[in-house]
Amino acid sequence: MKQLSILYVDFETEERVYYSSLFKSCLQDVSVVKDGDDAYQFYLEFKPDIIVLEPLVPNGLALVKKIRQNDYQTILCAITNDTSTSLLQEIVELFFIAYLHKPVSSKELMGTMVKIKRTLEKEEKVKLSKDAYWDKKAKMLYINNRYIILTKRETKLFELLVTNRCQFCSDDDIFFYVWGDELDKSVGLSSIRTLIKNLRKKLPNGFIKNRYSLGYKINP
């Protein structure tokens, strides 16, 4: 869960503090706002993976309707005191993944986060940053809605980095994943360094991070 970003929207100060602390126990990137207008501006700028919303906040459902005009990828979760049929119908129509009634226990909230994580893992498109995503099925990288042309080995390397994006990949990891079907060839560290260098040329600065003795990881 650590690599996912979440925006929590609620007008109740005590509840914002309580629930945001629970989110921070399993996520590093947690942001909090108190109304739909601020949430929409945040969404446009940062494109969080998950939005957890009290639908009763000012312009709360208006926010969601604007998002859903073009975006069905962002995960939505409702957490509210309202149990009305009309609200539930709105939530269903706007494709919320979950509907939680306050007060929500930490166990129930964490269970919902696990459900969201599993849903995202099933998605063919892996969001790497607000401007970049990886199509797992097609094995294609898009940055700013532009397809980035990769060679066969660059594609395998990037696929490895995406699959293990929460940890560093060592030289051995890269060697066996990229050249695993060509073990009869002589491949040294210079081949790996050249591959990394060529891939970096096609990516924004700092997209691939390296650390001495640990290896490489995606750092968008």
| pTM, full prediction | 0.61
pLDDT tens for each residue of 63-74: 999 998 878 778
DSSP label at residue 34: S
Question: HSE of 170 in the Cβ direction (CA atoms, 13 Å)?
Answer: 5
Instruction: Name all domains of the chain by residue range, CATH numbers in brackets.
Output: 5-123 (3.40.50.2300), 126-218 (1.10.10.10)
Residue 2 contacts residue 87 (beta carbons within 8 Å) = no
Short-list 16, 20, 40, CA closest to 30: 20
pLDDT tens for each residue of 114-155: 888 877 766 677 888 778 888 888 889 999 888 999 999 999
User: pLDDT category, 49, cuts 50, 70, 90?
Assistant: confident
Residue 80 contacts residue 124 (beta carbons within 8 Å) = no
pLDDT tens for each residue of 72-121: 778 999 999 898 999 989 998 899 999 999 999 999 998 998 888 877 76
Residue 132 contacts residue 220 (beta carbons within 8 Å) = yes
